Structure 1
Amino acid sequence: MVRSEEFIQLLTPEGERVEAEGFTYDHDDATIAANLRHMVLGRRFDTEATALQRKGQLGLWPPALGQEAAQVGSGAAVADLDMIFPSYREHSVALMRGIDPLDMLKTFRGTAMVDWDSVAHRFHLYSFVIGTQALHATGYAMGMQRDGVVGNPDPADNGAVLVYFGDGATSQGDVSEALVFAASYDAPVVFFVQNNQWAISEPIERQSRIPLYRRATGFGIPSVRVDGNDVLAVQAVTEWAMDRARRGEGPTFIEAFTYRMGAHTTSDDPTKYRERAEEEEWRGKDPIARVRSYLLARGAIDQAWLDALEAESEELGVRVREGCLELPEPVLEDYWELAYATLPPGLAEQRDAYLAYEAGFEGEDAR
């Protein structure tokens, strides 16, 4: 199944519902309002983390500004037995899965490694090596297949894998290898590409001569392109793909056509390689504004609802700002004990040398 060059859209940038062949949104306005809340809180967390980096409190941060609908819409399609494999930018999805925002900051502040229970949250650890998570996800999906968690009569007994990566990762060999294995073994995995138009400073036109979703056809994988700024369409398309996978019908490739409003990471300056007019054009397609307009027009939310959400957003901002500064400094000697069940002699010598060096600073402020 390969869709046309146009993407699937169910809610226009003006906040008007439209129809799309083959896809409908089967949820009520309360669900849409819940998605709006997730998008607003995700953006607030992302904005606070970016500001913390600019103030020197984080070493680095990968902003997700403008990609909230792609993340929340797809995250809303996840069921109890499903597993998510993120890259390093899926902050809104992480919040939806119950990850503590302060746990997400630890890696970027340098106080801990990636630090959450991936099994309990059904959300794997962030992957910082571009594209590797596609292989990890495919292998995990093949394991679910062999464990009998796919294709059962009761839908509640089935699960699938959702893996995120960006347009730049599609140029990596790991992603191609993952597509080969997924297609060959009908693995229950959905490849979700957030095409935000730029792989750091390289535009998508330099990476692919055809739309990204069409590349999946060469691997024999059904593909679809969706308006990545339309949370309704993203949820509908991802639910369809995840249902296919859970039933044992194999992988799907989704291209969410969106835009990165901010920098690739806070070490990047997008003004060096893209035009302001391009950014302004995409601001008119803001994923949050269109949902807010739709719900207000429907009378599903009002100003009091928005004020309450703003208060909740402010509480999150305060918690992130204050909590970041209170993250405990790591005890470096612990890492020798955490790496091995039985510490090899060479590393034991290294540890002892470090501890002796550290002891020389006792009584001083510096460690």
Structure 2
Amino acid sequence: MPEGADRSHCLVADVGGTNVRFALAPIDAAGPLVEERAWRLADFDGPDAAVRAYLQAVAPVARPRAGMLAIAAPVDGDEIGMINGHWRFSLAETRRSLGFDHLHALNDFAANAWAVAELDRGDLLGIGAATPDPAAAGSFLVLGTGTGLGVASLRRDLGGRLTIGATEGGHVAFGPLDEQEDALLARLRPRFGRLSYERLLSGPGLTLLHQVRAGGPDLAPELIIGRAAAGEAEAERSVDLFCAILGSFAGDAALIHGAWNGLHLAGSMINALAAPLAKGAFRRRFEAKGRYAARLAAIPTAIVLQPALGLLGAAGALRHQLAENQP
């Protein structure tokens, strides 16, 4: 790495199953991101090469010495391996190779939760009668679909202290609730055995769901969403079913985590589905929890409109980490 250091900024990355996004963020306080870039994950063998390519493009001389990787993977030690991607790496070895003083990682949806904690209501599009207040004390959930299905919890106590919980909730087993979903499970069980919600509630999941229920060739999720928006009946039915199943899953997740103060839906795919999510099936299934229906009806839900959520959350988490480590 060339000599020179920028100690006023940190490097942040949002590593998904398809793309890796980078930016520089202020290291001492919340502030705007600069030099945002994105590449395909498949173009790099691991974070070392990707970070080097990014810094060579935006900071060839004065480089940050601290970084945070928000990654679509369990993060519970030095060795990190992606579920929906090919990166396998040691965080400590990557830090040494890059010459960083600090390099940390966290689950991508834990990063989203850190970012949600700093949003205001102008960053949210409410679904239903109420919108969550991210600044309030209480328990929240952040959930979203993309290459996979991510879930993280957020709790703010009365003193303003945050507790973020990374989960792998997207991998719990799918539970059908009507004859159409029974038939869907029956069709897919021979292929997968145990069918997780992520198999259905993701970009590849929408492709799979549409192919199974409508037949024909596999279609990219953005094409299905576009056809539904244009009024094509079969695509509309698939998108509506996707939103209904997402509502069921989100309601179950809210019960499991006690997210009584709000649920946030995040990600570019969620934003593309804003209109069908608002049609009603999502909230109906979210609230359809038997004896707890009234309790679920009181939980506000919203779509997060901020497109750089993972990067902002990575920066917030790194600032917290560095502050915690100060003597």
**Fold shared per TM-score above 0.5:** no
Where is the helix percentage greater, Structure 1 or Structure 2?
1
Where is the strand percentage greater, Structure 1 or Structure 2?
2
TM-score scaled by length of structure 2: 0.27
TM-score scaled by length of structure 1: 0.25
Q: Which has the higher contact order (CA 8 A, sep 6+)?
A: 1
Bigger radius of gyration among the two? 1
